[in-house]
Amino acid sequence: MAGLGKVYLVGAGPGAADLITVRGARLLAQAEVVLYDALVTPEMLALCGQAELISVGKRSGQRSVAQDLINQQLVDCAHKYALVVRLKGGDPMLFGRADEELRALEAAGIEVEIVPGITTAVAAAAATRQPLTKRGVARSVSFFTSSTAPEHSIEEVALPHTDTLIQYMGGREAIATAARLLAQGRRRDMPVVVIENCSRPDQRVLRLDLGRLAHGLEAAHGPVLVMIGEALRMREHQPPDTTL
């Protein structure tokens, strides 16, 4: 449709500004307007100082309404600007609600392009030097989230049956996951790695086991990823975790 701008769904990566892709950084430097998530850091926004910045972080309890608003804002921006960036934490196509935004933009006849980003699970594996797969130990990995559709509770969603499990937005919900895994017969000493604020200066890493996880986690002050599986057992000469 003539006169409409193009929208780029860009993955910001896990947090650190230098972990965005070169292509993503170039588009930020060219963008006229950037609609960004709540978890995008000020350092990342410094890469698009020329653009109008619109915060579209969703508030708890208003997910569907907030997403509808974001969809409409993207359509409206494409009518006003030639180059629109929707900046999402991690990768746009993994737990990024890209489907809703793609549907809205496609229905409005607006051109869209996806620019992938480093998803937090991969960044967490790198930060902790802990491969998610291991020959002879783990050949399958599942990414899942605590967030569900409003009509379903987390207890109604089946847990994946893979060697390594990665729970996005884990936090307190990971406690329930641990209890369910133990009830399914998983070993209590199965290694667990919890990482908060992955790739950021205030990154924290906690190592424990499934039995301890089932008894609770201390409150977190940033996004939490929980990694569970035998592949996460520390190597004999592995150095201790450090803050980046």
Q: What is the pLDDT of residues 172-206, one digit of tens each?
A: 899 999 999 999 999 999 999 999 999 999 999 99
Pairing of the two strands 191-196 and 204-209: antiparallel
- pLDDT at 202 (0 to 100): 92
Confirm whether pTM is higher than 0.85.
Answer: yes
CATH number (3.30.950.10, 3.90.1200.10, 3.40.50.2300, 2.40.110.10) of 120-232 reads 3.30.950.10
Q: pLDDT tens digit string along 24-39? A: 999 999 999 999 998 8
Annotated domain spans of the chain: 6-115, 120-232
pLDDT of residue 59 exceeding 50, the answer is no
Could you tell me where the DSSP H helices lie in the chain?
Answer: 22-30, 42-45, 63-80, 98-107, 120-127, 173-183, 210-213
Catalogue the active-site residues. Answer: 37, 58
**Tokens, residue 90:** 């991690």
Region for residue 197 given its phi and psi (left: phi exceeds 0; alpha: psi -120 to 50; beta: otherwise): left
CATH number (3.40.1010.10, 3.40.50.300, 3.40.630.30, 3.30.450.30) of 6-115 reads 3.40.1010.10
The CA distance from 150 to 153, in Å, is 8
The yes-or-no answer to whether 6-115 and 120-232 have a common fold is no
- pLDDT at 62 (0 to 100): 43
